[in-house]
Amino acid sequence: MENLLNILKSKHEKLFLGGGIDKIEKHKKKGKMTAWERIVYLLDEDRPYVEIGAFAGDGMYEEQGGCPNGGVVVVMGYVKNRLCVIVSNDATVKAGAWFPITGKKNLRAQEIAMENHLPIIYLVDSAGVYLPMQEKIFPDKEHFGRIFRNNAKISAMGIPQISAIMGPCVAGGAYLPIMSDYALIVEGTGSVFLAGPYLVKSSIGEVVDNETLGGATTHCEISGVTDNKYPNDERCLDAIKNIVDKFGETDKNQFSRIASKEPEYPHTRIYKLLPEDRLKPYNMLDILKAIVDKSSLEEYKKDYGKTLICALARIDGWAVGIVANQREIVKAKKPGSTSEMQMGGVIYSDSADKAARFIMNCNQQKIPLVFFQDVTGFMVGSRSEHGGIIKDGAKMVNVMANSVVPKFTFIIGNSYGAGNYAMCGKAYDPRLIYAWPTAQIAVMSGASAGKTLLQIQETALKAKGVSLSEEEKNQLLSKIKQQYNAQLSPYYAAARLWVDGVIDPKETRKIISMGIEAANHNPNMEKYNVGVLQV
DSSP secondary structure string for all residues of 101-123: HHHHHHHHHHHHHHHHT--EEEE
Task: Please state, in angstroms and rounded to a whole number, the distance separating the CA atoms of residues 311 and 309.
Answer: 6
100-116 vs 144-156: helix axis angle to the nearest 10?
A: 10
What percentage of the chain exceeds 70 in pLDDT?
Answer: 94
Task: Check if the beta carbon of residue 18 is closer than 8 Å to that of residue 93.
Answer: yes
pLDDT computed for residue 179 by the predictor: 93
Per DSSP bridges, beta strands 377-378 and 346-347 are: parallel
Task: Check if the beta carbon of residue 395 is closer than 8 Å to that of residue 419.
Answer: no
Span 77-91, average pLDDT? 97
Does the structure show a pLDDT above 60 at 534? no
Task: Check if the beta carbon of residue 82 is closer than 8 Å to that of residue 125.
Answer: no
Work out the angle at residue 308's Cα, subtended by the Cα atoms of residues 302 and 312, and round it to the nearest 5 degrees.
60
Does the structure show a pLDDT above 90 at 499? yes
Q: Which residues of 307-336 are buried (b: 16+ CB within 10 A; e: fewer)?
A: bbbbbbbbbbebbbbbbbbbbbeeeeeebe
Q: Which residue has the higher pLDDT, 382 or 182?
A: 182
DSSP 428: G
**E strand segments, 376-522:** 377-378, 407-416, 432-435, 440-442
Hey, which of 197-201, 208-212, 221-225, 452-456 has the most confident mean pLDDT?
Answer: 221-225
pLDDT computed for residue 144 by the predictor: 85
Q: Which of the four pLDDT bands, split at 50, 70 and 90, describes residue 290? A: very high
Q: Which residue has the higher pLDDT, 373 or 339?
A: 373
Euclidean distance between the first and the last CA atom of the chain, given in angstroms as a whole number: 42
Helices (H), 253-410: 268-273, 284-288, 349-364, 382-386, 389-401
pLDDT computed for residue 338 by the predictor: 47
In whole angstroms, how large is the CA radius of gyration of the chain?
25
pLDDT computed for residue 535 by the predictor: 55
DSSP 219: I
What percentage of the chain exceeds 90 in pLDDT?
Answer: 67
pLDDT computed for residue 170 by the predictor: 83
The one-letter amino acid at 425: G
